[in-house]
Amino acid sequence: MEKLIHTLADHGDDVNCCAFSFSLLATCSLDKTIRLYSLRDFTELPYSPLKFHTYAVHCCCFSPSGHILASCSTDGTTVLWNTENGQMLAVMEQPSGSPVRVCQFSPDSTCLASGAADGTVVLWNAQSYKLYRCGSVKDGSLAACAFSPNGSFFVTGSSCGDLTVWDDKMRCLHSEKAHDLGITCCDFSSQPVSDGEQGLQFFRLASCGQDCQVKIWIVSFTHILARSTEHQLKQFTEDWSEEDVSTWLCAQDLKDLVGIFKMNNIDGKELLNLTKESLADDLKIESLGLRSKVLRKIEELRTKVKSLSSGIPDEFICPITRELMKDPVIASDGYSYEKEAMENWISKKKRTSPMTNLVLPSAVLTPNRTLKMAINRWLETHQK
């Protein structure tokens, strides 16, 4: 029969999170501290409370071994602590500076994910304490995160009710509206479920939200990856409906052409077959500049169709946009980025490296002509 065995009342404000290791209990609070207790008798450890954060601490979690504790805060940092002596191991700043709401270790302790109020999610190298990859969800702040038991992917939950599946390279594999209101927590069962016919392994994921519901999902990395690729190919092929084309036009800042395209019943297949002659003669688009812009956007679609079917080498992908680079530049951190994306990063964010999170020695961007030629050669090969 359940019974209360102990009550802890050391925090001076709301307690936001608690976490167990094999020998310790950790708690964190709006009072900016993290406290550690021994599971033997629930006495607070001599070096507790842990103090560094300047604002509320939202989440804390142990590495699988229990030797490291992570905490994240409104101050925009995720901090790693040595649980044996309470010493601070690293302070990792969210690149956007946004309040960090959730953090979670991968099952092998090599990575740590942190999710922020602005929807950014960062995958940190838990050994070097450096930024590995970053991404973001379209809407809402991140409030939940969980790794699959085998570590091949992880899931984030947002305040808009969306569940998003990411692989270990921070590629978004799948996203869907899971709850009508915000997601508050999600977690995987440690025991996989086997498919008797094909021998595939599935994982059970539970999500809960502010809609008063708990939902149980069956997730397979193989199926998600296949569905993601299929979905991406559908996005850039002749499967588009006329409505899909209209949505695409609006996204390309070509909404003034929606009426003309609808009048001519332009679907995905027709879109990909448009030429400068058909734009002028059939669709009666008089502006040469407008026709050129439409053709340029269509050519980008054709490129994406080919690249999705062949697989883009990872070194050709911009770490910020996760898209094929057109104008790669080398930043002072030694990494290559898409020029426009890196210029925006430097102008709008802290002057830190998107890859290492360290301060950039210089804002100078040098054209990476060697990489650009390699990308162009790859494109020529895959567009034949």
Q: What is the CATH number of the domain that holds 278?
A: 1.10.150.50
Torsion of CA 320, 321, 327, 332, to 10 degrees: 0
342 and 216 in one domain? no
pLDDT at 194: 65
CATH code (residue 61):
2.130.10.10
Domain contains 3: no
Strand pairing category for 201-209 and 183-188: antiparallel
Of 367, 314, 309, 319, nearest in space to 341 by CA: 319
The domain tally of the chain equals 3
CATH code (residue 364):
3.30.40.10
The residue out of 230, 249, 282 marking a domain boundary is 230
54 and 177 in one domain? yes
Distance CA 347, CA 331 (A): 14
Q: Is 50 within 8 Å of 33 (Cβ atoms)? A: yes
Distance of CA 242 to the CA centre of its chain: 30
Distance CA 47, CA 33 (A): 12
pLDDT in tens, 194-223: 655 445 567 889 999 998 999 998 877 555
Q: Average pLDDT in the 223-242 region?
A: 55
353 and 252 in one domain? no
Please, what sign has the CA dihedral across residues 243, 249, 254, 260?
negative
Is the pTM above the cut of 0.85? no
pLDDT at 102: 95
Q: Which residue has the tokens 């070097």?
A: 128
Range of the domain at 40: 15-230
340 and 203 in one domain? no
pLDDT in tens, 41-77: 999 999 999 999 999 999 999 999 899 999 999 999 9
**Percent of the chain clearing pLDDT 90 (strictly above):** 40
